[in-house]
């Protein structure tokens, strides 16, 4: 009897594996451009001027990685010498070097209302008074918020800009911190919260702060649920493979199956300054706010074949799962990569050098794959961290919550409150054989422009909510040359950012 039972179980397991393998073997849906794979590297807390203020001119002091721009580099809207020497803010912009004491800074204030106040109705002159911090790593006079790096520190990004396409006119969809940026990336929507309001975090059923996702064992602060749909729902409906891959998503203590217990996410790494940083941040995982796309217990995929497809992981994975799929020649059509916290660029616990390692290692590996020929890597950021940027954003979406909004116009009838935007200007880059070479795009775009590109490329249709920012988003198409392509690969040194 035991032998018969064992044989029966084995046969069922083989049949299950065959069925599973068959269910994953489907043709890739057609695309409207030559791009068959989009990889979004979504980093943390950098304004455009903080990384590109003087692009393409670097100071090049002795002892720092050198950067020399091509003579035909187009102009970009950075800081003029007049804005550096006679800035309307109470402290002047200044260059941060790549010594340990200046790449490790404190975290600036980047809350919804203080960021609005920093722009002072278009005067752009109140950054020190409204969003500066003075903790460890920042000057006691609040001046650090005016600091910027150049091509001797963020060397890799400047070299990618020389070789591929960047924007100098792309914005945070709304004012505020990480979670609104994450949600605008995947749904263009921070309203339609279905759980309770939390003071200064969720107001009028709109997220303006950093609550954690309601469907995540590793959440700890104000678990919040979103209604409506996100891009994952749209991709699933069209049968397009996709996934969110985040450092530290693999639990340090797996869920034991007991409904009363939770998985734990406590893995960590040392940053370049020697600080121990927990890898996973729950409020950096946008799909865990939606019941339809959550992997509450951080369950792993049952096999490499499952990655990108429906399965127990429900498209939410650890970063290691992305590389397992890539190594197996099964990279999903749409992949969102979120670095472990020590490499995500967020001031206070990360830095430009750790971030450079992550970005360069990722792109170097992708360029060695067979899929690179039709891949587009999009590098973007979730918010500005409050770092100074001299461009006043256009307030395309108005809001007049007297408790939260300052000079944001009047909310249109029936529209969600507390989504004042656009917010601060952010870096945006496209790295692809089809990117325009050494190109600076001046078109107005925002975080939801990435959502729109994915919607259009795979013919998904828009987010059903008419208030999603994807209806207003500018196009990324001007950063591409879909007729020709053929931009050469560029391999960089992850330590220095210079060409290998």
How many CA atoms does the CB half-sphere of 437 hold within 13 Å?
A: 11
Percent of the chain topping pLDDT 90: 93
pTM score, two decimals?
A: 0.94
Asked if the model's pLDDT at residue 103 lies above 70, the reply is: yes
Give the integer Cα–Cα distance in Å for 35 and 377.
10
Q: Which of 465, 476, 488, 480 is nearest to 184 (CA)?
A: 465
Query: What's the confidence (pLDDT) of residue 23?
Result: 54
Domain annotation covers residue 81: no
**DSSP calls for 306-335:** GTTSSSTTTTEEEHHHHHHHHHTT---SEE
Domain annotation covers residue 415: yes
Domain annotation covers residue 492: no
Domain annotation covers residue 15: no
Domain annotation covers residue 71: no
Structural domain including 345 reads 36-48+152-479
What does the mean pLDDT of the chain come to?
94
- What residues have CB less than 8 Å from 392, skipping those under 6 apart? 119, 122, 124
Query: What's the confidence (pLDDT) of residue 14?
Result: 37
The DSSP H or E segment spanning 358 is helix 352-366
CATH number of the domain bearing residue 202:
3.40.720.10
Give the integer Cα–Cα distance in Å for 189 and 115.
19
Q: How many domains does the chain have?
A: 1
Query: What's the confidence (pLDDT) of residue 29?
Result: 85
How many CA atoms does the CB half-sphere of 352 hold within 13 Å?
A: 27
- Report cis status (omega within 30 of 0) of the bond before 207: no
Domain annotation covers residue 336: yes
Query: Angle between the 178-186 and 447-457 helix axes, to the nearest 10 degrees?
Result: 20
Q: Give me the residue label for tokens 């599973």.
A: 20
pLDDT tens by residue, 46-91:
999 999 999 999 999 999 999 999 999 999 999 999 999 999 999 9
Query: What's the confidence (pLDDT) of residue 236?
Result: 98
Domain annotation covers residue 445: yes
Domain annotation covers residue 6: no
Do the beta carbons of residue 393 and residue 407 sit within 8 Å?
no
Query: What's the confidence (pLDDT) of residue 8?
Result: 38
Specify which residues 39 forms β-bridges with.
335, 377
Instruction: Give the mean model confidence (pLDDT) for residues 111-129.
Output: 98
Query: What's the confidence (pLDDT) of residue 485?
Result: 87
pLDDT tens by residue, 291-315:
999 999 999 999 999 999 999 999 9
């Amino acid at each position: 009897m035991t032998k018969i039972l064992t044989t029966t179980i084995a046969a069922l397991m083989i049949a299950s594996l065959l069925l599973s393998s068959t269910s994953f073997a489907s043709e890739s849906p057609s695309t409207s451009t030559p791009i068959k794979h989009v990889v979004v590297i979504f980093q943390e807390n950098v304004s455009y001027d903080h990384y590109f203020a003087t692009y393409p001119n670097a100071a090049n002091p002795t002892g720092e990685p050198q950067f020399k721009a091509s003579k035909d580099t187009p102009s970009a809207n950075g800081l003029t010498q007049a804005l550096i020497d006679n800035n309307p803010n109470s402290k002047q912009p200044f260059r941060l070097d790549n010594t340990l004491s200046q790449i490790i800074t404190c975290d600036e204030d980047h809350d919804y209302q203080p960021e609005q106040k920093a722009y002072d109705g278009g005067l752009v002159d109140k950054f020190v008074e409204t969003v500066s911090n003075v903790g460890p790593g920042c000057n006691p006079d609040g001046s650090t918020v005016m600091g910027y790096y150049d091509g001797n520190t963020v060397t890799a990004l400047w070299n990618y800009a020389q070789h591929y396409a960047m924007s100098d006119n792309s914005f945070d969809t709304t004012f505020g911190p990480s979670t609104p940026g994450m949600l605008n990336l995947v749904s263009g929507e921070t309203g339609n919260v279905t759980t309770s309001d939390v003071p200064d975090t969720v107001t009028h059923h709109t997220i303006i702060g950093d609550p954690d996702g309601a469907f995540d064992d590793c959440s700890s602060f104000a678990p919040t649920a979103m209604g409506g749909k996100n891009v994952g729902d749209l991709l699933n409906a069209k049968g397009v493979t996709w996934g969110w891959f985040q450092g530290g998503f693999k639990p340090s203590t797996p869920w034991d199956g007991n409904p009363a217990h939770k998985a734990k996410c406590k893995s960590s790494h040392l940053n370049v300054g020697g600080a121990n940083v927990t890898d996973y941040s729950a409020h950096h995982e946008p799909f865990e706010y939606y019941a339809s796309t959550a992997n509450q217990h951080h369950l792993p995929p049952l096999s490499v074949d499952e990655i990108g497809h429906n399965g127990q992981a429900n498209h939410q994975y650890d970063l290691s799962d992305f590389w397992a799929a890539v190594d197996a020649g099964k990279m999903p059509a749409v992949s969102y990569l979120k670095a472990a916290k020590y490499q995500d660029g967020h001031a206070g616990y990360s830095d430009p050098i750790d971030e450079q390692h992550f970005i360069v290692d990722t792109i170097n590996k992708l360029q060695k794959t067979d899929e690179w020929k039709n891949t587009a890597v999009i590098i973007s950021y979730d918010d500005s961290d409050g770092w100074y940027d001299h461009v006043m954003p256009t307030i395309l979406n108005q809001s007049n919550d007297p408790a939260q909004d300052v000079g944001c116009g009047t909310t249109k009838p029936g529209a969600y409150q507390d989504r004042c935007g656009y917010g601060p200007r952010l870096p945006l880059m496209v790295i692809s054989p089809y990117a325009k070479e050494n190109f600076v795009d001046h078109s107005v775009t925002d975080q939801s422009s990435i959502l729109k590109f994915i919607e259009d490329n795979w013919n998904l249709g828009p987010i059903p909510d008419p208030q999603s920012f994807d209806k207003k988003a500018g196009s990324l198409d001007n950063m591409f040359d879909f007729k020709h392509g053929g931009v050469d690969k560029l391999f960089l040194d992850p330590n220095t950012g210079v060409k290998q």
